[in-house]
Amino acid sequence: VKWLWFMHRLGLGACLADDMGLGKTIQVIDLLLQLQRELSKVASRRSARKSAPAGGRATSLLVVPASLVGNWKDEFARFAPGVRVFYAHRSECSDEALQRMAQAPARQAADYDAVVTTYGLVRRMSWLTSVAWRLVILDEAQAIKTPSAPQTRAVKKLDAAGRVVLTGTPVENHLGDLWSVFDFCCPGLL
């Protein structure tokens, strides 16, 4: 977690390529808690000085396989119940809630610390690319191993101040898989 925080503070992308079960989800939740605490400190200092709030990115986006939305919901409830999360997926919210978010995405997303959605919905919900995200986190990032795939191209259009990828298999078939994942988290590095 200290390393993730260090990378974030430097403005660098990070890749957690640990095996399944070693706590990638919990590490990211802890990182989001640290970001939340940092924003609270900044807001307290501003209110003490009575200065106007600065604009900026406060909400993070998590892109996960549809089969893991429920797992992320359970983990947030268990380890970080104070993190305000919007689940942008029809299994977790109504069509009306998704429509409200799509109509004013930046304003609506500002009410949350994190938005959780799926790779498929990133391709279909264009409003996700209109928000300036604080952090974009990809779970099971091998989902973007093919650079020309529609979901890879859609994910790479997201505007983020920082990027983190989580994967137990950064290379499934060949080194090109790793290149595509790093092209997202650290554009231009490789």
Q: What digits encode the pLDDT tens for the residues 95-146?
A: 899 899 999 999 999 999 999 999 999 999 999 999 999 999 999 999 998 8
Burial class (CB in 10 A: 0-12, 13-18, 19+), 190: exposed
Average pLDDT over every residue of 72-88: 95
Encoded amino acid at 135, one letter: L
| pLDDT value at residue 38 | 84
In this prediction, residue 49 carries a pLDDT of 59
Is a pLDDT exceeding 70 seen at residue 73?
Answer: yes
Q: What is the pLDDT of residue 52?
A: 41
What is the pTM for the complete model shown?
Answer: 0.89
Q: What is the pLDDT of residue 48?
A: 62
**Structure confidence at residue 178 as a pLDDT band (50, 70, 90):** confident
81-101 average pLDDT score = 91
Region of residue 47 (phi > 0: left; psi between -120 and 50: alpha; otherwise: beta)? alpha
pLDDT of residue 51: 47
What's the pLDDT score for residue 128?
Answer: 94
From residue 118, alpha-carbon distances to 37, 42, 189 in Å are 26, 31, 26
DSSP structure string for 7-68: HHHHT--EEE-PPTTSSHHHHHHHHHHHHHHHHHHHHHHHHHHTPPPPP----EEEEE-GGG
**24-67 pLDDT tens trace:** 899 999 999 998 888 777 766 666 655 444 444 689 999 999 99
Task: With CA atoms as reference, report the closest residue to 8 among 163, 187, 182.
Answer: 163
pLDDT of residue 55: 43
Cα distances (angstroms) measured from residue 169 to each of 56, 89, 140, 178, 181: 33, 25, 8, 9, 11
Query: Is the predicted pLDDT of residue 4 greater than 60, yes or no?
Result: yes
